[in-house]
C-alpha cells in the first residue's frame, strides 16, 4: 500500500507534462485545404465500380507542390509537365487510403490503386483527378462514402455546387450529403445512426467527415 | 543485504524503462485504436469545446491569414507588417499544438533539475533553431537547387526521423544517468541492518558535495548530494545543447509551406521574416510551459522535503520518470505511436 502510494507520488508529477500537453498531442490543424468533387460510377447492371475524385488544392499547397517543376511557359503547367507530380501524389495517397472510406450495408469496402490520374492547372488552381476502382464492385442498399483526413492535416471540403454526382446509378437511388459544418450531425441523428451501426463509437467521425449516403431500393 | 553494483543498478533501471515502454506500447495502441479511419474522433476546429478547441481554431485562422497577408504583400508593401503580426500570433498558438518539443524540453528540464531561466533559454534556442532549419531547407532545396516538392518532402522525412532518433538517444542517456541515481536513492532509503548503515555513511562521504549541493539550494535529503558533474553547469550545458539539437532540428511543416509560398510569390525575404517571428511566438509558448513544468517539479520537491529520507527517493523517482518520458517520446515518435505534425508529402 505504502509502496503503491510512493509509486503514485513518483509518477504523478513526472506525468504532469504529458497531462498538461498531451491533450493536444494528436491535434494538428489543417495545413492543406482541398475542395472536393466526386462521381460515383455505376456499371450498367447497377453495381458501384468506383469513385472518381477531383481535388482542388489551396493556393499555398499548390505553390509548394508546383515548386521546381520545369515548364515551357512560365506560370502555365500542362498535364504532361504535371504528370510526375500526379504520379507522386497518387503514390503518397496510398498511405492514407486515399482519404476515401466506403461502406456497403455496413461492411467496409476497399479500393484498388488509382487509375486515370492527372493534374491540371487552371485559373491558378491545381486539381488532382483520379479514379478509385473498388476492389470488389458491389450492389448495396445503403452506401456510405466518407472523405476526410483522420489526422486533420488536410481539411476536405465538398464543393459548394454539385459536390457529388451519381453516374449511371440504378433508378430510385437517393443520395444525401452531409457536410461537417452544416450541423446536420445533430445529437438525435447521431444516436439513431449509432444504434443502426451497432457501435457506440462508430459515428463521431461523421461530425467532421464529408459523408455521402446513397440508399437504393 | 547485497548491494547492487552501480552498473547493475543502471541496467535494472533501463530494464524497467524498457518494460514500461512495452507496456505503454499496448496502452498507446489501444488509445490510438479509438482513432482509426472512419472511427470516432473528436471533431476538429469549432466543434471541440473549451480551450483546446479555441486554440485549434485560432491557429487555423492565423495560418490562413498568413497566406492571405503574403499574397497581399506582393502588391502592398505595408501588408508585411500584418504578415509579421499574424505570424507571431500563429507561432504562439501553434506551439500549443503537437510537436515543437514542448514535452521533450519540459521533461528534460524536470529530469535534469534545470532552472526556470535555463528552461526559457532552451525554449528560445530550440525555437530559433527550428526556424533556421526551415529557412535553410527551403533556401537550399527550393531556392538554390530549384528541386521539386518531392525532394523537399524527402529531406523533411529524413530530418524528421533523425530528430526522433536523437530524442530517443537523448532520452536513453538521461535514463541511464537518472536511473543510476534513482537506484542509489532506492537502496539508501531501504531500511537495512547495520551493514547498510555503515555503507550509508561511507557513501555519504563520497557523494555529498557541500559546496555545490547547498549553494544551489538543492535539497538532497540528509545524504547523497548530486555529483558535481551531474549538476547544471558545464556538463549540463552540453546536455542542454543535446536537448536543443534533438528538438530544434525538425522544422514545422507550416513554416516550410509558408516559405515555399513566399518564394513562389517572389517574396522569400518576407517568408524568412515571418518564419523567424513565428519562431519567436513559438518560443514564448514553449517557455511558459517549460516554466510551469519546472515550477511543478519544485513544488513536488518542497512537498517531498517534509518526508525525511523518502523525499530524496521521490525526487529521484520524478527525475527518472521524466528521463523515461523523453525516451518514450523519442521512441514513440520514431515508431509512429505518437503522431506529431505530419510532413508535407502529398
Can you tell me which residue has the cell 485504436? B33
Q: Which percentage of chain B shows pLDDT scores above 70? A: 68
Residue A11: predicted pLDDT: 56
> Per-residue pLDDT tens for A69-84?
988 988 889 999 999 9
> Per-residue pLDDT tens for A54-66?
999 999 999 999 9
Residue B239: predicted pLDDT: 80
Does the distance separating the beta carbons of A92 and B321 come in below 8 Å? no
Within A31-151, residue ranges assigned H as helices are 59-66, 83-94
Residues of A in contact with B157 (CB under 8 A): none
Q: Long-range contacts of range B151-158, CB-CB < 8 Å, 24 or more positions apart? A: B151/A68, B152/A64, B152/A67, B152/B256, B152/B260, B152/B344, B153/B343, B153/B344, B153/B345, B156/B251, B156/B253, B156/B256, B156/B343, B156/B344, B156/B345, B157/B343, B157/B345
Asked if residue B161 has pLDDT above 70, the reply is: yes
Distance CA A34, CA A53 (A): 11
B326 in contact with A at a CB cutoff of 8 Å?
Answer: no
Nine-digit cell string for B235? 556538463
> Per-residue pLDDT tens for B166-211?
999 999 988 998 888 888 888 876 654 444 444 444 444 444 444 3
Residue A193: predicted pLDDT: 41
Residues of B in contact with A209 (CB under 8 A): 38
CA B315 to chain centre: 20
Asked if residue B122 has pLDDT above 70, the reply is: yes
**If DSSP codes are grouped into helix, strand and coil, which group holds residue A2?**
helix
> Per-residue pLDDT tens for A133-185?
999 999 888 999 999 888 788 889 999 988 999 999 888 899 999 887 644 44
Does the distance separating the beta carbons of B56 and A27 come in below 8 Å? yes
- Where is average pLDDT lowest: A5-9, A172-176, B142-146, B156-160? A5-9
Residues of A in contact with B38 (CB under 8 A): 101, 103, 108, 146, 150, 202, 205, 209
Nearest CB to B38 within list A30, A60, A205: A205
B92 within 8 A of B282, measured Cβ to Cβ: yes
DSSP state of B220: B
Nine-digit cell string for B234? 558545464
Question: What DSSP assignment string belongs to B68-134?
Answer: HHHHHHHH-TTHHHHHHHHHHHHHHHHTTSS-TTHHHHHHHHHHTT--HHHHHHHHHHHHHHHHHHH
Asked if residue A132 has pLDDT above 90, the reply is: yes
Nearest CB to B98 within list A27, A88, A203: A27
> Per-residue pLDDT tens for B207-264?
444 433 333 333 333 334 444 444 454 456 778 888 899 889 988 888 999 999 999 9
Residue B300: predicted pLDDT: 86
Average confidence (pLDDT) over A77-99: 92
Residue B57: predicted pLDDT: 77
Question: What DSSP assignment string belongs to B6-48?
Answer: HHHHHHHHHHHHHHHHHHHHHHHHHHHTTSSTTS-----GGGS
Residue B45: predicted pLDDT: 36
- Where is average pLDDT lowest: A93-102, A199-208, B33-42, B88-97? B33-42
Give the mean pLDDT of chain B: 75
Nine-digit cell string for A149? 483526413
Which segment, A39-53, B26-40, B302-316, is predicted with the most confidence on average? A39-53
Q: Which residues, including other chains, have CB under 8 Å from residue A166's CB and lie 6 or more apart?
A: A39, A40, A42, A173, A175, A214
* Interface confidence: ipTM more than 0.85: no
Can you tell me which residue has the cell 492535416? A153
Q: First CA to last CA across chain B, in angstroms?
A: 61
Residues 110-139 of B with CB under 8 A from A: 110
Residues of B in contact with A108 (CB under 8 A): 38
Read off the pTM. Answer: 0.74
Q: Greater confidence, B13 or B262?
A: B262
Asked if residue A202 has pLDDT above 50, the reply is: no
Nearest to B291 by CA among B131, B92, B102: B102
Q: Greater confidence, A116 or B315?
A: A116
Distance CA B253, CA A161 (A): 31
Residue A155: predicted pLDDT: 87
Residue B55: predicted pLDDT: 77
Distance CA A17, CA A40 (A): 47
> Per-residue pLDDT tens for B77-121?
889 999 999 999 999 988 876 666 788 888 888 888 888 898 999
B222 within 8 A of B104, measured Cβ to Cβ: no
Does the distance separating the beta carbons of A24 and B96 come in below 8 Å? yes
> Per-residue pLDDT tens for B259-315?
999 999 899 999 999 999 999 999 999 999 999 989 988 888 888 877 766 778 888
Residues of A in contact with B304 (CB under 8 A): 9
Distance CA B266, CA A28 (A): 29
Residue A208: predicted pLDDT: 62
Does the distance separating the beta carbons of A202 and B39 come in below 8 Å? yes
Distance CA A211, CA A205 (A): 9
Q: What's phi and psi for B344, nearest 5 deg?
A: -80, 80
How many residue pairs bridge chain A and chain B with CB atoms within 8 Å of each other?
A: 202
Residue B226: predicted pLDDT: 43
A174 within 8 A of A164, measured Cβ to Cβ: no
Helices (H) and strands (E) in chain B, counts: 12, 0
Residue B213: predicted pLDDT: 35
Which residue of chain B is at minimal alpha-carbon distance from A74?
A: B264
Q: Which percentage of chain A shows pLDDT scores above 90? A: 50
Amino acid at each position: 500500500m505504502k509502496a503503491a502510494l510512493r509509486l503514485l507520488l513518483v509518477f504523478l508529477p513526472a506525468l504532469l507534462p504529458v497531462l498538461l500537453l498531451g491533450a493536444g498531442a494528436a491535434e494538428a490543424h489543417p495545413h492543406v485545404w482541398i475542395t472536393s468533387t466526386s462521381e460515383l460510377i455505376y456499371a450498367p447492371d447497377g453495381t458501384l465500380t468506383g469513385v472518381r475524385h477531383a481535388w482542388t488544392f489551396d493556393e499555398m499547397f499548390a505553390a509548394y507542390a508546383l515548386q521546381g517543376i520545369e515548364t515551357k511557359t512560365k506560370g502555365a503547367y500542362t498535364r504532361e509537365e504535371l504528370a510526375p507530380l500526379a504520379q507522386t501524389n497518387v503514390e503518397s495517397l496510398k498511405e492514407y487510403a486515399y482519404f476515401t472510406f466506403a461502406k456497403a450495408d455496413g461492411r467496409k469496402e476497399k479500393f484498388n490503386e488509382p487509375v486515370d490520374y492527372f493534374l491540371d492547372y487552371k485559373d491558378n488552381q491545381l486539381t488532382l483527378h483520379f479514379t478509385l476502382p473498388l476492389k470488389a464492385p458491389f450492389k448495396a442498399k445503403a452506401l456510405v462514402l466518407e472523405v476526410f483526413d483522420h489526422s486533420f492535416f488536410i481539411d476536405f471540403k465538398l464543393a459548394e455546387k454539385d459536390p457529388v454526382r451519381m453516374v449511371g446509378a440504378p433508378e430510385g437511388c437517393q443520395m444525401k450529403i452531409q457536410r461537417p459544418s452544416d450541423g446536420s450531425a445533430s445529437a438525435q441523428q447521431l444516436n439513431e445512426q449509432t444504434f443502426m451501426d451497432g457501435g457506440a463509437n462508430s459515428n463521431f467521425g461523421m461530425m467532421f467527415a464529408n459523408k455521402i449516403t446513397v440508399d437504393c431500393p | 543485504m547485497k548491494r547492487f553494483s552501480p552498473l547493475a543498478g543502471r541496467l535494472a533501471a533501463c530494464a524497467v524503462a524498457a518494460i514500461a515502454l512495452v507496456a505503454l506500447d499496448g496502452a498507446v495502441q489501444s488509445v490510438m485504436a479509438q482513432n482509426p479511419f472512419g472511427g470516432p474522433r473528436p471533431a476538429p476546429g469549432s466543434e471541440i469545446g473549451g480551450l483546446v478547441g479555441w486554440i485549434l481554431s485560432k491557429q487555423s485562422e492565423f495560418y490562413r491569414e498568413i497566406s492571405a497577408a503574403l499574397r497581399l504583400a506582393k502588391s502592398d508593401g505595408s501588408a508585411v507588417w500584418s504578415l509579421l503580426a499574424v505570424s507571431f500570433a500563429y507561432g504562439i498558438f501553434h506551439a500549443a499544438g503537437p510537436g515543437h518539443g514542448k514535452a521533450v524540453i519540459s521533461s528534460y528540464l524536470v529530469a535534469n533539475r534545470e532552472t526556470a531561466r535555463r528552461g526559457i533559454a532552451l525554449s528560445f534556442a530550440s525555437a530559433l533553431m527550428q526556424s533556421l532549419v526551415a529557412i535553410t531547407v527551403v533556401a537550399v532545396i527550393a531556392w538554390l537547387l530549384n528541386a521539386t516538392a518531392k525532394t523537399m518532402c524527402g529531406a523533411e522525412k529524413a530530418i524528421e526521423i533523425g530528430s526522433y532518433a536523437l530524442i530517443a538517444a537523448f532520452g536513453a542517456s538521461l535514463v541511464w544517468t537518472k536511473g543510476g541515481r534513482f537506484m542509489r536513492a532506492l537502496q539508501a532509503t531501504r531500511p537495512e541492518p547495520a551493514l547498510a548503515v555503515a555503507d550509508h555513511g561511507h557513501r555519504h562521504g563520497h557523494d555529498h558535495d557541500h559546496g555545490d549541493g547547498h549553494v544551489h539550494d538543492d535539497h538532497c535529503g540528509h545524504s547523497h548530494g548530486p555529483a558535481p558533474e551531474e549538476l547544471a553547469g558545464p556538463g549540463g550545458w552540453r546536455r542542454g545543447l543535446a536537448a536543443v539539437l534533438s528538438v530544434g532540428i525538425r522544422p514545422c511543416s507550416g513554416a516550410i509551406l509558408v516559405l515555399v509560398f513566399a518564394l513562389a510569390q517572389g517574396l522569400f525575404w518576407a517568408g524568412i521574416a515571418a518564419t523567424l517571428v513565428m519562431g519567436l511566438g513559438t518560443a514564448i509558448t514553449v517557455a511558459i510551459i517549460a516554466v510551469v513544468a519546472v515550477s511543478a517539479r519544485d513544488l513536488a520537491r518542497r512537498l517531498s522535503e517534509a518526508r525525511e529520507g523518502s523525499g530524496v527517493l521521490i525526487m529521484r523517482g520524478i527525475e527518472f520518470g521524466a528521463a523515461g518520458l523523453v525516451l518514450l517520446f523519442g521512441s514513440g515518435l520514431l515508431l509512429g505511436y505518437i503522431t506529431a505534425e505530419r510532413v508535407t508529402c502529398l
